[in-house]
Chains A and B, each alone.
Chain A
Amino acid sequence: MHIPDGFINVPTSAGFGAMSAAWVWYSLRRVGEFLDDRRIPLAGLLAAFVFAAQMINFPVAAGTSGHLIGGVLAAVLAGPWMASLVLAVVLVVQGIFFADGGLSAIGLNVFNLGLVAVVGGYGVFLLARRVLPAGKPMVVIAAGIAAGVSVILAALSFTLQFAIGGEADVAVGTVAAAMVGVHSLIGAGEGLITAMVISAILSSRPDLVYGYTPAMEPTHG
């Protein structure tokens, strides 16, 4: 869902760019507060993994593909602020080096994928954790559901940007319906991949899953 240059006008892009910059700055401060130096290389790996996973476009319908965003995946593993930094770094590298997402649109893309998908998705994860029973399998299910929803939230966020500053004269309702339709399919893939990765890490290194708090779990023995 990387917006190229030209879809959204410059004032709107600049406005969202300012909000994204403020959010990244805030995230940097929050991460700095509790950053464990020994985990810095692992956070680097997480960013590299999200970059790599975003290269893997999977087919979702005739003539359409989608790829992981990784916002909820990163948030459940490392917390929402670290996840926002991960997505921001990935998007900046993609925009500068690979012309994937326009440079003038970086603020729009960081807003949709690094703020809305991460924070909105993590909110859904926390909500699902409260509704579902305790236990590791439920953490996996909550992460999967939240990841799926996060893609639709990001699609709606794009629609909002299009409504404010879309260069093309297309009805917003039409764009909203089309965006939610196709991204529901991509969201299913996002949910599945997120659940698989969280499940693998939860079984080997539960201490590295930020969204899993053993204190919430029933103790045995």
Chain B
Amino acid sequence: MDRRNRALLIAGLVVTALLAGVVSTIASSQPDGLERVAIDEGFDDSATDGATSDSPLADYAVEGVENDRVGTGLAGIIGTVVTMAAMIGLLYGARALRRRDNTSADA
């Protein structure tokens, strides 16, 4: 990776960490657009608790962390790391697919 890409990567990670770890803690906790429509039109009660609703990170909190803001920020940082790792892993998968195609085309 060249120097310009590395500089951008570092700057981007700093901005992303600030968003997920700090700005997220002061974000609005009001219902979002879909939730608002569901409440207003009376179908919000058709929502059911999903299979992951008792996840230790459910609703962007961290189980065992008492302070809500700290929990949200921590959950944000964890999610950022997991998302980045998952995306990079998926792209290495895409690369492996391409290589397999090239190999079978050569055969």
Residues of A within 8 A of B (CB): 1-7, 28-29, 31-33, 35, 37-53, 55-60, 63-67, 85-86, 89-90, 92-100, 102-104, 155, 158, 166-168, 170, 174-175, 178-179, 182-183, 185-186, 204-205, 208
Contacts and interface: CB of A to CB of B under 8 A. Distances in A.
B50 A4 contact: yes
Most buried by B among A29, A39, A48, A63: A48
Given A35-B94, A98-B60, 11 more contacts: A5-B48, A31-B91, A44-B87, A49-B12, A55-B20, A55-B27, A57-B29, A57-B32, A58-B27, A96-B55, A168-B41
Contact of B79 (A6, A97, A155): A97
Contact of A98 (B43, B57, B97): B57
A35 B87 contact: no
Task: Give the interface size class of chain B.
Answer: 35 or more
Contacts of A59: 28, 30
A99 B50 CA distance: 7
B65 interface: no
Contacts of B98: 32-33, 35
Nearest to B82: A93
B42 interface: yes
A100 B55 CA distance: 11
B50 to A, nearest CB: 4
Is chain A's interface secondary structure helix, strand, loop, or mixed overall? helix
B5 interface: yes
Rank and list the top 8 A-B pairs by shortest CB-CB distance, nearest first: A168-B43, A6-B48, A47-B87, A52-B20, A32-B94, A65-B28, A52-B19, A32-B98
B87 A66 contact: no
Contacts of B30: 57, 59, 63-65
